[in-house]
C-alpha cells in the first residue's frame, strides 16, 4: 500500500488550513496532477493525480504559503550588498519615475513604469519574453497570466487586476521557453520564484529580471459578482470586457 509522501501531506495542510497564497507554483510544476478548483469561487489547488516523493519535495520547496525565510532570500538576491531597512527590506536605491511615452502613461495603473521597463528590456534584446497578467479572451471576466513577446502584448496587460491571480501556473512553460524572461508578479508569487531559484529549479532558469508591484488588496471573484448585483446584473458569464482601472489614472471599474 502506497503512503503519501510527507511533503505532500504538508502541502495539503497549507491548502486546507487557509494558508495557500494561490501563487500557482504547485499547479504549474505538478505536470497536470494539481489544478485550481472553481476560480470564481473558492479558488484553491486540488490534487487530482498521483504525486511521487521527488515531485512532492519540489512542490513543497516552492510553496510560498508554508513560510518565507526573508534573510535567506535577501542573501541570495543581494549577495551581501545593498542597504537594509526594517520596513523596506534590502534595497540598492529608492526612486520615483514615470513613462516618458504619453500613451503608456495614460493607459497605465501607476505611471507606466512596469510596462516601459518591460518594453525596454524586450527592445534592447535583454529578454525575449515577459510573464505578465492580462485578461482572458475566452473568459473576459477572468485574469490570465501569459508570456508576452511583443510590445503590443505587454501593453495589453497594463493596469492592475484586483481579483486573485496565479502567475506561477506558467512554470511548466517558463522552463521550456527559448530565451530570457522578465517576471512580473505579486510578492507571494515572487517568494516562490526566489525559493525555486535558490534550489536551481529548471522552471526558473530563464528568469533574468523580477518586477514585483506591492499587493494592496486581492479579492475573491465574489466581489465582481457583488458589483454586478449592485447594478441589477446577475450573470457574470455575460461580461464582454472587465477593467478594474479603466481610463486615465486613477481610473474606475468598468464592465461591459
Tens-place pLDDT, residues 211-254: 999 888 889 999 999 999 999 999 999 999 999 988 877 888 99
Query: Is 78 inside any structural domain?
Result: yes
Whether residue 87 has pLDDT greater than 90: no
Q: Which of 101, 114, 119 is nearest to 211 (CA)?
A: 114
118-144 pLDDT, tens digit each: 999 999 999 999 999 999 999 999 999
The CA-atom distances, in angstroms, between 13 and each of 18, 116, 215 are: 9, 40, 24
Reading the block at residue 27, the C-alpha cell is 499547479
Residue 84 inside a domain? The answer is yes
The proportion of the chain whose per-residue pLDDT surpasses 70, expressed as a percent, equals 99
Looking at the domain assignment, is residue 113 inside a domain?
Answer: no
In a domain, 142, yes or no: no
214 burial via Cβ count (<10 Å: 0-12, 13-18, 19+): exposed
In a domain? residue 90: yes
86: in domain = yes
Q: Is 83 among the domain residues?
A: yes
The pLDDT of residue 140 is 96
pLDDT of residue 26: 98
Domain span holding position 90 = 73-97
How high is the pLDDT of residue 247?
Answer: 81
Q: Is residue 191 part of a domain?
A: no
Q: 145-193 pLDDT, tens per residue?
A: 999 999 999 999 998 899 999 999 999 999 999 999 999 999 999 999 9
Structural domain count of the chain: 1
Q: How many CA atoms lie less than 13 Å away from 39 in the CB half-sphere?
A: 17
Contact by Cβ (8 Å): 62, 26 = yes
Mean pLDDT of 18-35: 97
Amino acid at each position: 500500500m502506497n503512503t503519501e509522501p510527507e511533503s505532500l501531506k504538508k502541502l495539503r495542510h497549507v491548502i486546507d488550513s487557509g494558508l495557500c497564497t494561490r501563487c500557482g507554483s504547485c499547479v504549474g510544476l505538478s505536470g497536470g496532477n494539481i489544478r485550481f478548483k472553481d476560480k470564481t469561487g473558492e479558488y484553491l489547488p486540488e490534487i487530482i493525480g498521483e504525486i511521487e516523493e521527488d515531485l512532492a519535495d519540489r512542490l513543497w520547496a516552492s510553496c510560498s504559503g508554508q513560510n518565507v525565510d526573508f534573510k535567506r532570500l535577501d542573501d541570495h538576491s543581494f549577495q551581501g550588498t545593498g542597504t537594509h531597512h526594517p520596513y523596506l527590506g534590502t534595497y540598492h536605491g529608492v526612486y520615483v519615475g514615470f513613462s516618458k511615452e504619453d500613451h503608456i502613461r495614460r493607459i497605465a495603473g501607476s505611471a507606466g513604469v512596469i510596462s516601459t521597463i518591460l518594453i525596454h528590456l524586450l527592445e534592447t534584446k535583454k529578454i525575449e519574453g515577459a510573464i505578465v497578467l492580462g485578461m482572458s479572451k475566452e473568459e473576459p471576466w477572468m485574469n490570465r497570466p501569459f508570456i508576452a513577446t511583443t510590445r503590443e502584448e505587454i501593453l495589453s496587460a497594463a493596469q492592475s487586476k484586483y481579483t486573485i491571480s496565479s502567475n506561477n501556473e506558467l512554470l511548466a512553460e517558463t522552463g521550456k521557453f527559448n530565451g530570457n524572461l522578465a517576471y512580473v508578479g505579486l510578492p507571494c508569487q515572487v517568494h516562490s520564484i526566489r525559493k525555486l531559484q535558490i534550489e536551481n529549479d529548471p522552471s526558473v532558469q530563464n528568469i533574468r529580471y523580477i518586477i514585483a508591484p506591492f499587493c494592496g488588496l486581492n479579492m475573491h471573484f465574489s466581489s465582481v459578482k457583488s458589483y454586478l448585483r449592485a447594478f441589477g446584473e446577475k450573470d457574470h458569464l455575460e461580461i464582454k470586457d472587465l477593467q478594474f482601472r479603466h481610463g486615465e489614472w486613477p481610473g474606475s471599474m468598468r464592465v461591459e
